[in-house]
Amino acid sequence: MLRMTNLSKVYRTHMIETHALRGFEIDVKEGEFVTVTGPSGSGKTSFLNIAGLLEEFTSGEYILDGVNVKGLDDNQRSRLRNEKLGFIFQGFNLIPDLNLFDNVDVPLRYRGFNAAERKKRIEEALSKVGLASRMKHYPAELSGGQQQRVAIARALAGSPKLLLADEPTGNLDTAMARGVMELLEEINAAGTTILMVTHDPELAVRTTRNVHIIDGQVSDLVRKGPTLVDTKSSVNA
Amino acid sequence: MFAYYFKLGIRSLRRNPALTALMVITLAVGVAASVSTMTILHMMSNDPIPQKSSRLFVPLIDPATLEDYTAGEKPGDIQITYTDAMNILKSGLGVRRTALYGVAGSVEPPRKEIPPFTMGGLAPTRDFFAMFDVPFAYGQAWTEADEARGADVVVLSRPMAEKLYGDVNPVGKRLNLMGFPYTVVGVTEKWKMLPRVYLLQGGSPYATGEEFFIPLASAVRHETQHNGGMSCSQNIGPGFAARLASECTWVTAWIEAASAGDRSEIQSWLDNYANEQRKLGRLKRNAPNRLYDVPGWMEYTGVVGKDAKLQTWLAFGFLALCLVNTVGLLLAKFSVRASEIGVRRALGASRAEIFRQFLIETVVVGLVGGVLGLLLAFGALQLISLSGKAMANLARMDWEMLSLTFIISVGAAILAGLLPTWRACQVTPAIQLKSQ
């Protein structure tokens, strides 16, 4: 599903060179639920941004669902992002002046689905997260947990193969975080691969695998249990 | 996606309404200033007879003396002598010819409740009506026979006919004009050439249309004084007959050719004619004989004043200033949208899509600014029209200017939106998403 080989990411300013990732290697198989942990500044977010095609990498190779992303132009990367990836952010990142229906509609518009197809997918996605009855509400009218559910619905509406979650429970209280985590587990159980960055060790132990990053490299691989599909995959660091 | 982005653009107007209002007003004021001055310029430089302006010609023959003459210099007047005008009428040039001068005279209304008053008119030959496509409400132009004998017949303008006779057909009625009994033979339908190119002497070229027309021969027979300027390079004797025979310029002549291509033929006739007149000792200068079609005539006579052109340039300078302000406001408006741009990019929008979305948003701002600008321009034109009849004729917006208002407004908004939109495309999504 996702393979990075000897990947590096260097941020350069006039004075300083910062190696966010170096010799980074990871292989995530279809159906896995992988958590990524590590201290602040270890390179987790850089990894997630590169995985999500939001940032370019400096060297190495990255294959996403069989597509070598190196050298793709902005249009090709955007299309790949739209078709294959779903994003869930710590801060929810809903567009405040769009109602729930229109928020979930955003990625579907870029996909070019017709109105009927979009409506069907939006209703299905919002039903899946238990918010079908609040389609016309605006994000500000919802609790944090509900907003994150909308963000999950938005990520799911386009049927992505890989869901990238950046500390999705970081802004939620314990009860809401549990609810969101259970929802993610359901989604994974239904076949969607999930890559989740978290600081919460309790969440990390609930997933198939935990990858620990220190100084831009995978330093530790913790296998927690069988993946939902073939678990022959490995993470090489 | 255009409809989707347009909808988002309308929705975006409501976001940050104070900033939006400021932007719309800035744009509207700039558009109103440029459109209202451009409307005046447009009306001033309007081709008043586009269907035949390239084949209507006005000749200029310089009859002045050699005193202080520099070869090639422009004639001192934009009219010709009565002698030259009569010779042009007899020349057989083109398909129609006319000679004319402005007249003004008192009229005794048949309705006793209206006191005598003075009205302004024209003394042309009968071809004038066909040449300048003057429409008739009643009757027609005077006949060739009337023209030949200088009959006292008159064509009235519709407003004048209604003032004198009410809402009836006055053809055949008598009218005491300038002390002579005239017979009404026709009433022109509402007709006003703007600018009034056929006679650029005597009043503004944008003044109200003629109130009456009498045959040139009748005006001459009654020694009707001309209403306008006259240029003489030598003293003339007393009396109207002396003026007719003089080398003073006070008549305008027009020639209608079958096609614009006949111009060289008319020019060569003019040159031959002037040479002949020189040999006869009448014309002293070896000045070039000028021949202008309608656009050339407007250019030569400077119908569109330099002030009007300068004002338009200044108004566009003001629009540019407004645009610079709009650029700043749009930058502010879009900069607070960085997180939205990051989200849209993460969800699959390419830079090109973001560019399209934000550019369409600026188009929406431009359209709203255009509507408000149009209202302001209408207001400004109303104010301008209060400054006199001639300005009232000019300060009118036609469909062309109406469309141009929106083109200017949307074009200005797009221009102002290019930099902010480009900046919006450069947003790094990763940073925005994390900073939420």
Q: Across all residues in chain A, what is the average pLDDT?
A: 88
CB contact under 8 A, B436 and A87: no
- Predicted pLDDT of residue B201: 75
Cβ-contact B156, B109 below 8 angstroms: no
Q: What is the pLDDT of residue B398?
A: 82
Question: Are the Cβ atoms of B430 and A55 closer than 8 angstroms?
Answer: yes
Q: A111 CB near a chain B CB, below 8 Å?
A: yes
Question: What pLDDT, on the 0 to 100 scale, is given for residue B433?
Answer: 66
- The whole-number pLDDT of residue B37 equals 87
When CB atoms are compared, the residue of A54, A75, A93 closest to B350 is: A75
Strands (E), B145-259: 153-157, 174-177, 180-188, 212-213, 249-256
- Please tell me if residue B168 touches chain A, with a CB cutoff of 8 Å: no
**Segment A31-55, tens digit of pLDDT:** 999 999 998 888 988 999 999 999 9
Over the stretch A139-158, which tens digit does the pLDDT of each residue have?
Answer: 999 998 899 999 999 999 99
pLDDT digits (tens, 9 = 90+) for A167-218: 888 888 888 888 889 989 999 999 999 999 988 888 888 888 899 999 999 8
Burial bucket for residue B118 (CB in 10 Å: 0-12, 13-18, 19+): exposed
What is the CB neighbour count within 10 angstroms for residue B145?
Answer: 8
Give the model's pLDDT for residue A221. 64
Q: Average the pLDDT over each of A18-27, A220-229, B61-70 and give the range with the smallest value.
A: A220-229
Burial code of A177-205, b = ≥16 C-beta within 10 A, e = fewer?
bebbbebbeebbeeebbbbbbbebeebbe
The answer to whether the CB of A126 falls within 8 A of the CB of A100 is yes
Distance from CA of A79 to the nearest CA of B (A): 6
How many contacts (CB atoms, under 8 Å) link A and B?
A: 69
Residue type, B429: P
Question: Could you give the CA distance from residue A163 to residue A157 in angstroms, rounded to a whole number?
Answer: 11
Residue A229 has pLDDT above 80, yes or no: no
What pLDDT shows up at residue B400? Answer: 84
Q: What residues in A contact B434, CB-CB < 8 Å?
A: 45, 89, 166
DSSP letter for B239, please: S
Measure the CA–CA gap between A198 and A219, rounded to whole angstroms: 16
Q: Are strands B117-123 and B96-108 parallel, antiparallel or unpaired?
A: antiparallel
Question: pLDDT at residue A228 above 50?
Answer: no
pLDDT score, position A224: 58
Establish if A161 touches chain B: CB-CB under 8 angstroms.
no
Distance of CA B210 to the CA centre of its chain: 16
**Strand (E) positions, B191-273?**
212-213, 249-256
Query: Is the CB of B434 less than 8 angstroms away from the CB of A52?
Result: no
In sequence order, the 6+-apart residues with CB closer than 8 A to the CB of B46 are B194, B195
Instruction: Please tell me the distance from the alpha carbon of residue B355 to that of residue A48, in angstroms, as a whole number.
Output: 26
CA distance B166 to B269: 47
Tell me if B352 and A45 make a contact (CB, 8 A cut-off). no
Looking at residue B171, its pLDDT comes to 96
Contacts of A83 in chain B (CB under 8 A): 348
Higher pLDDT, A100 or A40: A100
Q: How far apart are CA B247 and CA A101, in angstroms?
A: 87
Per the CB < 8 A criterion, the answer to whether B141 and B96 are in contact is no
Tell me: pLDDT of A231 over 70.
no
The verdict on a CB contact (< 8 Å) between B339 and A93 is yes
CA distance B185 to B171: 5
pLDDT of B413: 85
Within the 348-407 window of chain B, which residues sit less than 8 Å (CB to CB) from chain A? 348-353
ipTM: 0.89
Residue A196, pLDDT score: 93
* CA atoms of B409 and B368, how far apart (whole Å): 9
Q: What is the CATH class of A2-223?
A: alpha beta
| Lookup: tokens for A90 | 């710590």
* Residue from A48, A124, A130 nearest A89 by CA: A48
Predicted TM-score of the model (pTM): 0.71
**Mean pLDDT, range A12-40, rounded to an integer:** 90
Domain boundaries along the sequence of chain A: 2-223
Least Cα distance to B101 among B180, B182, B217 occurs for B217
Spans of chain B, pLDDT less than 70 = 202, 390, 431-436
Q: What's the pLDDT score for residue B432?
A: 64
A-chain CB neighbours of B353 within 8 Å are 78, 110
d(CA A210, CA A195): 10
In this structure, the dihedral spanned by the alpha carbons of residues B127, B131, B134 and B135, taken in order and rounded to 10 degrees, is 90
Cβ B348–A45 below 8 Å, yes or no?
A: no
**Residue B199 DSSP symbol:** -
- Express the helix, strand and coil content of chain A in percent, nearest 5 each: 35, 25, 40
Residue of chain A whose alpha carbon sits nearest to that of B14:
A97
A222 pLDDT tier (thresholds 50, 70, 90): low
